[in-house]
A and B are shown apart, each in its own frame.
Chain A
Amino acid sequence: MTRARPLLGTIVEITALSSERSLCFAAINHAFESIEKIQRKLSFHDRSSLLSEINLHAADRPVELDSQTFSLLRTAHELYMVTSGIFDITIAPQLESNGFLPKSSHVNYQRSFADIDLSTEGCVRFRRKGVRIDLGGIAKGLAVADAVASLRTMGVKAGCVNAGGDLEVFGDCMLPVRIRDPRRRGDYVATIPIKNLAVATSGHYFANRIHPSATVGPFVDPRTSLLSSAAQSVTVVAPDPVYADALTKVVIIDPETAATVLPRFDAAALMIDYMGTVFCTPNWHASIQAA
């Protein structure tokens, strides 16, 4: 059984593979509820979200977090360290100045994850004013992981959660997944068989803004504050959807560094560069076949 709802700004599709229809139905409900919870908690746009509370108050006082959010920030920190700052959730101000997030009064390009203090378990604190975080590069991955966990808890042994292109196939089933071709709408670069693996794709295709110098997507290199333009579409496969989601952004910003980071997370990537050439990491085919 497959159902879909509009969530996380996209269309989230949940498949539960079981012959027991009532089990599928209840489990999918449960999984949608877990995604709704994450949406309420981590929305950058919703002023009543936990994320907004962090952005408003963490510079003045420690903000208490639930274990899921704290662990997500820890993961974001790990990615920041491992990628030498390419993955940085404090880039929200840069995105705002290019028109991808709502504008607010404090725009500061000189902030990084180094300004975030996670040393107290279950708490976050900003070391300076003007720091703001955006979990857009990682929250969809979390939502997928959490929905899969919900399905499993409810007794679904195999299925798929697809949050607008960030997806995970779990259990004893192989599902073919198509990768969109950014060069031609409605066309596909490849169709890959996926089993027990997460897939995430980031691209410029549906989020373009006209920038004075070029058409740009919502990717900023945190080290330089320059909008990235190395790749037009990147797909990452990895066992964990949170890392798959995050690593697509790392590849888009800096493919060379990303190639050395991906193996740490058992991840492989496919990239279409600005000339339209398709590249992959050497472990791409093996990663898909091994799962």
Chain B
Amino acid sequence: MNKWIPFTAVPIALAGSVTPGFANTYMSVERAQQAIFPGETFTPANVNLTLDQQKTIESRTQTHVRSRELKAWKVSGGAWFLVDEVIGKHEYITYAIGLTATGAVKQIEILDYRETYGYQVEEPGWRQQFVGKTAQSPVKLDEDIRNISGATLSSRHITDGVRRLLATYNVALK
């Protein structure tokens, strides 16, 4: 009675279907600003890192600076609000970080998470499945499925990104 039985999917399950990459958008930049620094005002203050600064940051953190343009805002009271992107093997994560006036991490909010897999993009049928889909189509259903239970997604890339931004603060914002 308490034995394992072969799994057969009930009709609701989309068993075995190859689904496109998974993506969730959580927050706009503006909402993240208010989430991390409620009531403060923000002045755009993008920074273009010099080649020397890039090299210093990379050697200090053993990370790769993909873009020398840093999306930054000065927050009233001397704090900083930064938006950064990290790229893993299959995932792209945009996140916002608030740094206090002394350069400590105040809070991190993930803005956007995307997962893609090479073979899905390469397969010619993959893009085709979006063509002509209506709001009621399965693609819409896929987009509605936000939750995935699977082996833990690592947040290591974000951890590396935060280290890189803290070094960037010391090199270019302090």
Contacts and interface: CB of A to CB of B under 8 A. Distances in A.
Nearest to A29: B35
**Lowest 5 CB-CB distances: which A-B pairs, in order?**
A180-B150, A186-B117, A6-B155, A4-B110, A278-B7
Contacts of A11: 93, 110, 113, 153, 155, 158
B120 to A, nearest CB: 6
Nearest to A186: B117
Contacts of B19: 178, 186-188
B9 interface: yes
Contacts of B155: 6-7, 9-11, 164
Interface string B31-43: 0000100000000
Contacts of B35: 3, 25, 29
A206 B18 contact: no
Interface string A1-31: 0111111011101010000000001000100
Interface of B is mostly: loop
Contact of B15 (A177, A190, A235): A190
Interface of A is mostly: strand
Contacts, number: 171
A259 B153 CA distance: 27
B7 A191 contact: no
Interface stretch (B52-60, B65-73, B127-135, B141-149): B141-149
A279 B2 CA distance: 13
A224 to B, nearest CB: 21
Interface in B1-59: 1-7, 9-10, 12-19, 21-22, 24, 26-27, 35
Contact of B109 (A3, A178, A193): A3
A187 B18 contact: yes
A6 B117 CA distance: 22
A188 B15 CA distance: 7
Q: Give the size range of B's interface with the partner.
A: 35 or more
Contact of A186 (B3, B27, B90): B90
A152 B149 CA distance: 23
Interface of A: 2-7, 9-11, 13, 15, 25, 29, 140, 160, 162, 164-167, 169, 175-180, 182, 185-194, 199-207, 233, 235, 255, 259-260, 262-263, 270-271, 277-282, 284-285
B152 interface: yes
B108 interface: yes
B147 A233 contact: no
A252 to B, nearest CB: 11
A4 B156 CA distance: 15
17 contacts: A3-B110, A4-B24, A4-B109, A4-B113, A169-B147, A177-B145, A185-B90, A186-B19, A188-B17, A188-B148, A189-B15, A191-B12, A192-B12, A207-B152, A260-B2, A280-B6, A281-B2
B138 to A, nearest CB: 11
Contacts of A202: 151
B86 to A, nearest CB: 10
B9 A190 contact: yes
A279 B4 CA distance: 6
A164 to B, nearest CB: 4
A179 B150 contact: yes
